[in-house]
């Protein structure tokens, strides 16, 4: 049975959501993507007469309660988006939280204080999980962004709801979209992998090689591959300890019949700054004192042509330092090409913090098939790992 099939009338529904959103110095929300993502689940529970009780973390507080990391900063915006009367309580366990939870009526919503004000949350403490469980009749996990963590609120708590634990709409959708890419993709399938480091993507690359037709590599990690093949990369970002790993991945790709696409040209700068002097050169002929910060026009043209002919596209990681206007063209053009392929019938899945930030920067979210809310969770799922937050619901 799924959450949508339940009679939730009068039930207290304890929901693990991901409200870990960025705030400015005035504690104003600068990107509410994650809050909006969990609204379908919250609104469905409200419509079915249930009383949502939201629990989440925010940031990484180190010494207990810190005003800068209080979820109270989000209360008003959640009320605006949900249309429910929101009550905030300044703890997530204890008599006050239990009392407010017990008094909830349909149409009301309870927002608990930051889970990570208690170190027991990240320690996966069973007693802390039990205290959280006392607040609700039903447990729902809708936080894909933390599903790879075996924390008290994401996996341990589920054992206290043996017959009343469910995926939220967002988490169910995340898993379904990842499975579509991993298990039933339409060929040709292209994985576009970028970002700074090879080290953080090794397992993903190796896991994907048996499933994909094309592997497109950009971003800072590309220079490790170029150096591994004997290229001169100047002062570009490189992980020298992973040169052999890069060669191994290329060899595995060849054995698997995967066509690897590395950049052939690059926009270089003499400093890591938007105001630096820039030039264009072959990616394996970068002069000393210069660093590659974006893929060049020839690479963009080749990459775009490949993407136009793909039926499934997985994108994780930018092509360059897109946060700087002089080095954003590669990422923007690849994003536009993925949108074009999607409009022509391809299925596109985008995930990872920087990729999602790029999609949001260029306002392209509605032109992709699916934009994941999870960075680390998505990578671990692609690696073939079991996510504690998913397993806890399924077991």
Residues catalogued as catalytic: 34, 197, 353, 376
Is 45:168 a contact under the CB 8 Å cutoff? no
Residue 308 CA to residue 30 CA, distance in Å, equals: 34
Residues in the chain: 395
Q: Please give the Cα distance from 72 to 27 (Å, whole number).
A: 10
Distance CA 340, CA 303 (A): 13
| CA–CA distance, 13 with 7 (Å, rounded to integer) | 11
CA 367 to chain centre: 18
């Amino acid at each position: 049975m799924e959450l949508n099939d339940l009679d939730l009338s009068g039930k207290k529904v304890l929901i693990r959501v991901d409200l870990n959103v960025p705030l400015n110095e005035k504690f104003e929300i600068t990107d509410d993507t994650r809050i909006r993502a969990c609204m379908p689940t919250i609104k469905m529970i409200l419509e079915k007469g249930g009383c949502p009780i939201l629990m989440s973390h925010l940031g990484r507080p180190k010494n207990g309660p810190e005003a800068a990391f209080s979820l109270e900063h989000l209360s008003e915006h959640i009320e605006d988006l949900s249309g429910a009367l929101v009550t905030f309580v300044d703890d997530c366990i204890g008599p006050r939280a239990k009392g407010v939870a017990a008094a909830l009526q349909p149409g009301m919503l309870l927002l608990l204080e930051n889970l990570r004000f208690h170190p027991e949350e990240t320690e996966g403490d069973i007693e802390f999980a039990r205290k959280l469980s006392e607040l609700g009749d039903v447990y729902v996990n809708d936080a894909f962004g933390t599903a790879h963590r075996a924390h008290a609120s994401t996996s341990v708590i589920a054992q206290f709801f043996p017959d009343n634990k469910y995926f939220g709409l967002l988490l169910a959708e995340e898993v379904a979209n990842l499975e579509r890419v991993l298990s039933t993709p339409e060929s040709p399938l292209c994985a576009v992998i970028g970002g700074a480091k090879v080290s953080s993507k090794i397992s993903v690359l190796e896991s994907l090689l048996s499933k994909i037709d094309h592997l497109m590599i950009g971003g800072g990690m590309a220079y490790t591959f170029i150096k591994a093949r004997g290229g001169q990369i100047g002062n570009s970002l490189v992980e020298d300890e992973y040169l052999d790993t890069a060669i191994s991945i290329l060899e595995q790709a060849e054995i698997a019949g995967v066509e690897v696409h590395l950049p052939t040209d690059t926009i270089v700068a003499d400093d890591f700054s938007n105001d630096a002097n820039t030039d264009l050169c072959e990616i394996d002929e970068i002069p000393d004192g210069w660093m590659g910060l974006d893929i060049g026009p020839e690479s963009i043209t080749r990459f775009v042509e490949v993407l136009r002919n793909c039926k499934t596209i997985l994108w994780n990681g930018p092509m360059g330092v897109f946060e700087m206007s002089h080095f954003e063209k590669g990422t923007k053009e690849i994003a536009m090409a993925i949108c074009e392929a999607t409009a022509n019938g391809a299925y596109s899945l985008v995930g990872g913090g920087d990729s999602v930030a790029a999609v949001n920067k260029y306002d392209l979210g509605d032109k992709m098939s699916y934009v994941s809310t999870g960075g680390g969770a998505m990578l671990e799922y692609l690696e073939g790992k079991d996510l504690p937050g998913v397993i806890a619901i399924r077991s």
